[in-house]
Amino acid sequence: MTTTTDASGTVTADDVRPRPASPRRRWLRRGLPVAAFAVLAILPFSTVDLPALLPGQVNSPGSLQLLAICLVFAGLAATYDLLFGRTGLLSFGHALYVALGSYTVNVAVTKLGLALPAALLLAVLVGLVVPALLGAVALRVNGIAFAMVTLATAQLGSIVVMSDPGRLTGGEEGLPLSPDAIPGFLSGVANTANLYWLALGYLVVVLAVIAWVVESEPGRVWQAIRENERRMSVLGLPPYRFRLLAFVIASFLATLGGVVHLFLVGGSSPQITTSNFTLAFLVMVVLGGTGSRWGAMLGGVLYTYLDHRLAALGTSDAVAGLPEVLRAPLSEPLFVLGVLFIVMVYFLPGGLASLTARLRGRTK
């Protein structure tokens, strides 16, 4: 934590206490996000055509589907940031919990014939118990060893899903969600707007929960652990318990995200169990800026949008005209994203969220 010093170099009480923001700034901080989310909420009524940016009119099913996926991944990135940015836990197994949500509900309704409410309840239960158990073991170690344990458990989950135990998960083919199981208001192309609102709702819930816990007492302890772990344990606040709390909250929210993702794409694919899926969250969070209010969300939207649109760009006329040497790499979204990511690490280490601070610093 940094404290400013006055001219004589001593820290005064006023400097340590957060300064009350000016009314205009406070209005901006509160009002701007509300306005932005209000705009997002009414997007399905817009018929604006953004030919280069979206596949069709804003309220066409294709565009809404893309936007909804961006919103879900924004939420998932924010849950990853709760671990990495807020608590300093480098996990390589976050994909496991997304897959847990998606596959639990899918297998329950499609293969076991459970009613949707029962399946959702099961997902909530599983989403709390599994992270609590795995986290309790994994958090016995710190740093890189923790990263490796999460990587290994997630890999195990991936192998289980791929091996298709009892013909439940569909193996490499994935498992399409049974159409009978989807409630009417979420099924069919005509109801894409409802799916979009579901995704938006998920994002709002995730951001609200994170904003709330980060401001609460555990949130302050997380920050303190990140800054100086030994001091916290000397003060009698066991880092283990607080880390476990962060791990369970983040994993539970990711499980919910997996459920929303399931409805959105209409099935579970083994892709969401892989370590590359987790690495994508890491890239999103770093692109956007770690441990900031909006950074992870921005990174999630940007990454997902580019990932989907670059694939379209790769087959577009503009790229097709390029010589083979340039065309082949540009048709691989991950190549462009990987390079963009490295450039960001070098030249904008704070991510997109640090851009505003940088610009403000320059104009001063």
Q: Which residues bind another protein (CB under 8 A)?
A: 137, 140-141, 144-145, 147-149, 151-153, 155-156, 159-160, 163, 165, 275-276, 279, 282-283, 286, 328-329, 331-335, 337-339, 341-342, 345-346, 349
Residue 171 or 266 with smaller CB distance to another protein = 171
Least distance between another protein and beta carbon 279 (Å): 6
DSSP H helices, the chain, are 13-16, 23-42, 61-81, 95-106, 116-138, 143-163, 192-215, 217-227, 229-234, 239-265, 275-288, 295-314, 317-320, 324-330, 333-347, 353-363
What is the closest distance, in whole angstroms, from the C-beta atom of residue 30 to another protein in the complex?
Answer: 32
Q: How far is the CB of 306 from another protein (least distance, A)?
A: 13
Q: At its nearest, how many Å lie between another protein and the CB of residue 145?
A: 6
Whose Cβ is closer to another protein: residue 161's or residue 260's?
Answer: 161
CB of 130 to another protein, least distance (A): 14
* Cβ closest to another protein, residue 21 vs residue 136: 136
Which helix (H) or strand (E) segment is 267 a member of? Answer: strand 267-268
116 or 162: whose CB is closer to another protein? 162
At a CB cut-off of 8 Å and minimum separation 6, what does 347 contact? none
Whole-angstrom Cα distance, residue 310 to residue 9? 52
CB closer to another protein out of 197 and 335: 335
Coil vs helix vs strand at 106: helix
Quote the least distance from Cβ 91 to another protein, whole Å. 13
What's the rounded Cα separation, in Å, for the pair 107 and 85?
A: 33
In the complex with another protein, the residue whose CB is nearer, 147 or 168, is 147
Tokens matching residue 62: 């294709």
Angle (nearest 5°) at CA 201 between 279 and 120: 80
Q: How far is the CB of 37 from another protein (least distance, A)?
A: 30
| Of 50 and 343, CB closest to another protein | 343
Choose between 114 and 147: whose C-beta lies nearer to another protein. 147
Q: Minimal distance in Å, beta carbon 156 to another protein?
A: 5
Q: Is 101 helix (H, G, I), strand (E, B) or coil?
A: helix
Task: Answer for the pair 199, 73: CB distance below 8 angstroms, yes or no.
Answer: no
Q: Is the distance from CB of 132 to CB of 124 less than 8 angstroms?
A: no
Q: Nearer to another protein by C-beta: 118 or 342?
A: 342
**Minimum CB separation from another protein for residue 61, in Å?**
29
For 278-332, give the secondary structure using H, E and C: HHHHHHHHHHHCCCCCCHHHHHHHHHHHHHHHHHHHHCCHHHHCCCHHHHHHHCC
Of 284, 287, 305, 326, the residue nearest 52 (C-alpha):
305
